Amino acid sequence: MDTPNIVVIGGGSVGSFIAHDLSLRGLRVTLVEKGNILGGTSARFHGMLHSGARYAVNDVNEARKVMEDNRVISDIAPHCIEDTGGIFVGLDNDDLDYASKFTAGCNQAGIDVKDIELDKLREREPFITKDAKIALGVPDKVINSFRLVTSLMLTAKAEGARILLSSEAIGFETEGKHVTGVKVRDSSGVSTLKSDLVINASGPWIGKVMSEHLGINSIDMIMSAGTMAVMERRFTKSIVNRLRLPSNGDIIVPYFTESIIGTTAFIIGDPDNFEIDKDDVDFLVEEGSKMIPAIKNSRVKRHYAGVRALISSSSDGNGDRNISRDFKIFDHETADGVSGIATVGGGKLSTSRIMAKKVGDFACGKFGIRDESKTDSIKLTWPELKEDNIEEITKKTGVSSQILKELISETSAKTYSDLYSPTMDLVYSRMLFD
Ligand SMILES: Cc1cc2nc3c(=O)[nH]c(=O)nc-3n(C[C@H](O)[C@H](O)[C@H](O)COP(=O)(O)OP(=O)(O)OC[C@H]3O[C@@H](n4cnc5c(N)ncnc54)[C@H](O)[C@@H]3O)c2cc1C
């Protein structure tokens, strides 16, 4: 057989890691993304590369998996990470016995957890409430998803993958019960991409893609939206979590120069049609200010919501908090008798690489290819912007040399939080189109 031709639907963190994984294994890959870079949840998340500590009491196996990939992603994509560290704080009225379960879970999952003395905590994080009674440090980090996904796409492109942005999968071509291609609409019209296998990695849209275009309704998923409030400034060096079972409004992430408080969780029916309840924003500010009182007197700059596709049918009435954050590959050949297509859903941005590795193993298994994933060791591409390549990048992107010079002065800033620049996003998305 010729080298298999795989079409990946969805250019979020999962689809982009899949394109990277499969092209490293030598397969022919085309990724179609209906929006621009980051059209879905990977742009509307909380900004954390989890250490797994959040899951250490409820699900040690999940916590271990997350920690392992925290190390791998930090190694292959250092330019996407700010190593802030995370602090779990227990307050006056919290169940402080939870701390020992938390420490035991972290130890079991291989997560480095350290007691932080309260005077050291106040020295490092002067804005944290005086009600803090206990603090534990873990290796949570901040991750820039735009950089991650752009780097994955650039790297996959260099490995031979085709990345088609603004290209929506609007249907499938079939021969009997076998999918042979994807109908794609872009600015020039509708065309068909031939495929030996399609991977549906469209995040919260996985169910919609299968039901609307193939009449398959077997994906057992719940869509849970979460609101986040963005505060006008950064209050802490570290990510601050409440030391208790995962709940709403219990994490504050210092993201570039701002702080993101999140999240809430509410079940929705359609990722394209739901509303954010303004009370959620007030709730987040209220909860956030229990950990950092200064939040109460600060401005909410904006708010947004992302949608999780949770793979489970069981909820116990506690919103979505007790539904697993694990992921699943749906083989539609065995589940629905339709071959040539599979779906992957669930998980977290922090576990996207592992998800892609499993999808890669699954795809290679279909074609009898014995090839291991290499994504744990290949460093991701991120073009350096330097004085001596300004001319070349101006030619490639059409971005003026003046703007590029300003960007260079920004990138020489000392702290990562100074680096954010929407113009930088523009430069790299243009490079990708090139
Ligand atoms: C509120 C909230 C906070 C979160 N915070 C964190 C966090 O801090 N850390 C963490 O690790 N995880 C977090 N997560 C989880 C994480 O964001 C997601 O698991 C991850 O981003 C999902 O990536 P994805 O690629 O599966 O989906 P997406 O990023 O949604 O990508 C799917 C893509 O498919 C495209 N698409 C859809 N339909 C089509 C079509 N027909 N044709 C072509 N393209 C199509 C969409 O445009 C989209 O870009 C959070 C989730 C939520 C909801």
The CB of 226 under 6 Å from ligand 1? The reply is yes
What pLDDT band is residue 123 in, cutting at 50, 70 and 90?
very high
Tens digit of each residue's pLDDT (9 = 90 or more) over 198-253 = 999 999 999 999 999 999 999 989 999 999 999 999 999 999 999 999 999 999 99
**Is the pLDDT confidence value at 143 over 70?**
yes
**CA-closest residue to ligand 1 atom 35:** 10
Give the Cα separation of 244 and 113 in Å (integer): 15
Residue 312: the pLDDT is 66
Helices (H) and strands (E) in the chain, counts: 12, 21
CA 270 – CA 317 distance, rounded (Å)? 20
- For ligand 1, whether the C-beta of 348 sits within 6 Å is yes
Calpha distance 300→290 (Å, rounded): 16
What integer pLDDT is reported at residue 288 of this predicted model?
98
pLDDT (mean) for 51-67 = 96
Which residues have CB under 8 Å from 317's CB, separation 6+? none
Distance 260 CA to ligand 1 centre (A): 18
Rounded CA-CA distance 21/55 in Å is 27
Whether the per-residue pLDDT at 397 is higher than 90: the answer is no
Residues 346-385 pLDDT 10s: 999 999 999 999 999 999 999 999 999 999 999 998 766 6
Ligand 1 centre and the CA of 46: distance in Å?
Answer: 11
Question: Residues 292, 298, 300, CA angle at the centre, nearest 5°?
Answer: 105
In 3D, which of 46, 233, 230, 72 has the Cα closest to residue 145? 46
Give CA–CA dist 84/255, Å, rounded: 10
How big is the chain by its Cα radius of gyration, in Å? 22
Sorted by sequence, the CB contacts under 8 Å of residue 303 that are 6+ apart come out as 227, 228, 229, 230, 276, 280, 281, 284
d(CA 13, ligand 1 centre) in Å: 7
Q: Is 249 in the pocket of ligand 1 (CB under 6 A)?
A: no
| Every domain of the chain and the residues it spans | 5-41+146-220+325-366, 82-142+222-310, 387-433
% of the chain residues with pLDDT over 70: 89
Q: Is 428 in the pocket of ligand 1 (CB under 6 A)?
A: no
Which residue lies with its CA nearest to atom 27 of ligand 1?
203
315, two tokens? 């909820």
pLDDT in tens, 288-318: 999 999 999 999 999 999 999 998 644 444 4
* Residue in this structure with the two tokens 């793979």, named with its chain if needed: 311
Distance from residue 226's CA to the centre of ligand 1 (Å): 12
The amino acid sitting at 207 is G
* Domain with residues 82-142+222-310, CATH architecture: 2-Layer Sandwich (3.30)
Atom from ligand 1 closest to the CA of residue 351: 11
Best residue for ligand 1 mutational test, from 7, 20, 30, 42 (most atoms within 8 Å of Cβ): 42
**Is the minimum distance from the CB of 340 to ligand 1 under 6 angstroms?**
no
Ligand 1 pocket mutation pick from 36, 38, 46 by most atoms within 8 angstroms of CB: 46
Token couple for 110: 């291989």
Ligand 1 pocket check for 196: Cβ under 6 Å: no
Please tell me the least confidently modeled range out of 77-91, 273-287, 317-331, 342-356: 317-331
Average pLDDT over residues 48-66: 96
Calculate the average pLDDT of the chain: 90
pLDDT at 147: 85
Domains 5-41+146-220+325-366 and 82-142+222-310 share a fold: no
Categorize the per-residue pLDDT at 402 as very low, low, confident or very high, splitting at 50, 70 and 90: confident
Probe residue for ligand 1, chosen from 14, 37, 45 as the CB with the greatest number of ligand atoms within 8 Å? 45
Q: Give pLDDT, residue 421.
A: 54
Residue-level pLDDT at 412: 53
Cα of 15 vs centre of ligand 1, distance in Å, is 9
- Per-residue pLDDT, averaged over 381-399, amounts to 75
**pLDDT for the residue numbered 413:** 46
Alpha helices in 264-312 (DSSP H): 278-291
pLDDT at position 287 is 98
Please say if the pLDDT value at position 422 is more than 90.
no
Residue 52 CB–ligand 1 contact under 6 Å: no
Which superfamily does 5-41+146-220+325-366 belong to?
A: FAD/NAD(P)-binding domain (3.50.50.60)
pLDDT of res. 419: 46
Cα of 228 from ligand 1 centre, angstroms: 15
pLDDT-derived band at 433, boundaries 50, 70, 90: low
Lowest mean pLDDT among 23-32, 67-76, 139-148, 410-419: 410-419
- Give distance in angstroms: CA of 38 to centre of ligand 1: 8
Q: What is the pLDDT of residues 246-286, one digit of tens each?
A: 999 999 999 988 999 999 999 999 999 999 999 999 999 99
